[in-house]
Amino acid sequence: MKPSRLSWPTGLRVWNQEEKVGEDGENGNRPVMGDIKPPLSGIRVLDLSTFIAGPYTASILGEFGADVIKVERPGTGDPMRQFGTPTERTDSSLAWLSEGRNKKSVTLDLKQPEGQALFRQLAEKSDVICENFRPGTLEKWNLGPVDLEDGNEGLVWFRLTGYGQTGPYKDRPGFARIAHAVGGLTHLSGFPGETPVTPGSTSLGDYISGLFGVIGVMMALRHRDATGHGQIIDLALFESVFRMLDEIAPRYAREGTVRAPEGAGTVNACPHGHFPTRDGKWIALACTTDKMFERLCRAMDHDDGNVGEDLFKAYADQATRLASQDSVIGTASRWTKSLDRDALMQVCIDFEVPAGPINTIADIFDDPHFKARGMLTSMMLDDLGEIVVPAPLPKLSKTPGEIRTLGPRLGEHNDEIYGGLLGISATALEKLKINRVI
């Protein structure tokens, strides 16, 4: 069964200020850029990276105006093209169409001298390079930062690997799943005594690293604007994961405490986790303070009961609740299971209890708030029809992000980039193709 549509915005730009806000607020406040240039207009990015983390950085830069050239291996391209659900295009999975947005694809064999020469020309005309080769690979081809500095001293390098450019593990291969494990997140995921589980998406560490990559690139460009000099951003996947783990480092250093898997709850608040509903669904509750817990107890007695009142009298402060988590969570679970999810959500809203449904993607497609916030958008492709993808983030009031194109075909822009940007003749391009340089 196809998902229901909520008239997701289509076309090149998600936001449109000319749309009025209806009573239901479904159109939202949508500014249009008009004559204002995108914030990264004039910035050219060479994306040599593959799969998710590095390409995600480049995609976000592209959403805000950067000209992103995706440099791919001739014949096969980025393995992301084959990752996930295939489409009628043999070189474009749904994952690729979404994550390859706003990029121009050129093919180039960096192992060949002719390919290395072409890359140097591209680098001279670029501002940022995103790459995730193992440390030393580009240097082996004489294409590292030192090799290219003379041609462009303002070049910013985003170098992303599993373990970074230095350290005893630097030559090990790395993926997000490994980063979750090494960075300490996997140990916290799952229930005590059971097999550690994947924390959400297997690619979570990739996306987190991609965001840190954008931060690094923007700061490096700011520095370049002030000094004229580029620099290297050295990021490891496991570092991004580790940086997100709140107090586990200072607590271990201070007390020697090794935090254990916490299941659906947390050691810092109670009740704070996931709770079943009468119709077989789930809801998330967050009682991080005593005040929030008081609201929850009042909600429990919304139908003139006294279970909540008794619970609050017994466990009014957080420390007492944490010492008796099983009892508190058990009482809360029995209450949530007495109501269907939508009815339970309404009671929580009425009593200002922090709560949210645990959504499937089908729930998200039916959620009016996702529509009002413009969280999904769609584009019509001649050969594939409508493709719905997540919209750009964050939302800027004057220069919002935009999706100009979805993931390109492999080598789709060879003639435009090599012929137009670098001025290579059609005859020379044909020879490069014959020699499998491009």
d(C-alpha 270, C-alpha 378), whole Å? 40
Are 71 and 125 in the same domain? yes
Q: Residues 400, 392: contact at Cβ < 8 Å? A: yes
DSSP 338: T
**Which of 17-21, 79-83, 105-109, 322-326 is predicted with the least confidence, judged by mean pLDDT?**
17-21
What is the residue-averaged pLDDT of the chain? 91
Q: Residues 114, 422: contact at Cβ < 8 Å? A: no
Are 99 and 232 in the same domain? yes
| pLDDT for res 34 | 61
In a domain, 426, yes or no: yes
> Peptide bond preceding 9: is omega within 30 degrees of 0, i.e. cis?
no
Each residue's pLDDT tens digit, 264-287: 888 889 999 999 999 999 999 999
Are 231 and 129 in the same domain? yes
Which pair of structure tokens corresponds to residue 145? 């930062």
Dihedral of the alpha carbons of 329, 334, 339, 341, in degrees to the nearest 10: 40
Are 235 and 280 in the same domain? no
Are 224 and 316 in the same domain? no
| pLDDT for res 17 | 29
Under 8 Å CB-to-CB from 239, ≥6 apart: which residues?
164, 183
Each residue's pLDDT tens digit, 218-261: 999 999 999 999 999 999 999 999 999 999 999 999 999 999 89
In a domain, 352, yes or no: yes
Q: Residues 166, 240: contact at Cβ < 8 Å? A: no
Please determine, for residue 14, whether its predicted confidence score (pLDDT) is greater than 50: no
Please determine, for residue 11, whether its predicted confidence score (pLDDT) is greater than 90: no
How many CB atoms lie under 10 A from the CB of residue 170? 16
**Long-range CB contacts for residues 290-293, cutoff 8 Å, separation at least 24:** 290/316, 290/317, 290/318, 292/353, 292/354, 293/318, 293/321
Are 112 and 173 in the same domain? yes
Are 213 and 289 in the same domain? no
Are 56 and 172 in the same domain? yes
Helices 290-300, 341-350: axis angle to 10 degrees equals 120
In a domain, 197, yes or no: yes
List the domain range (segments joined by +) for residue 283: 272-365
In a domain, 377, yes or no: no
Please determine, for residue 346, whether its predicted confidence score (pLDDT) is greater than 70: yes
In a domain, 286, yes or no: yes
CATH number of residue 315's parent domain: 3.30.1540.10
In a domain, 3, yes or no: no
Residue range 390-407: mean pLDDT, rounded? 96
338 — phi, psi (to 5°)?
-85, -5
Cα–Cα nearest to 49, from 64, 63, 59, 39: 59
d(C-alpha 21, C-alpha 371), whole Å? 13
In a domain, 339, yes or no: yes
Are 350 and 415 in the same domain? no
d(C-alpha 71, C-alpha 59), whole Å? 13
Total domains in the fold of the chain: 2
Sign of the CA dihedral running 37, 39, 45, 48: negative
Annotated catalytic residues are 206
Cα–Cα nearest to 220, from 236, 235, 231, 210: 231
Cα–Cα nearest to 188, from 252, 236, 235, 237: 252
283 — phi, psi (to 5°)?
-135, 150
Q: Taking every pair of C-alpha atoms in the chain, what is the biggest distance, in angstroms?
A: 85
Are 213 and 322 in the same domain? no
Are 356 and 422 in the same domain? no
CATH number of residue 61's parent domain: 3.40.50.10540
In a domain, 1, yes or no: no
Are 60 and 110 in the same domain? yes
Each residue's pLDDT tens digit, 292-343: 999 999 999 998 888 999 999 999 999 999 999 999 999 999 999 999 999 9
**Domain termination residue (choose one: 347, 365, 383):** 365
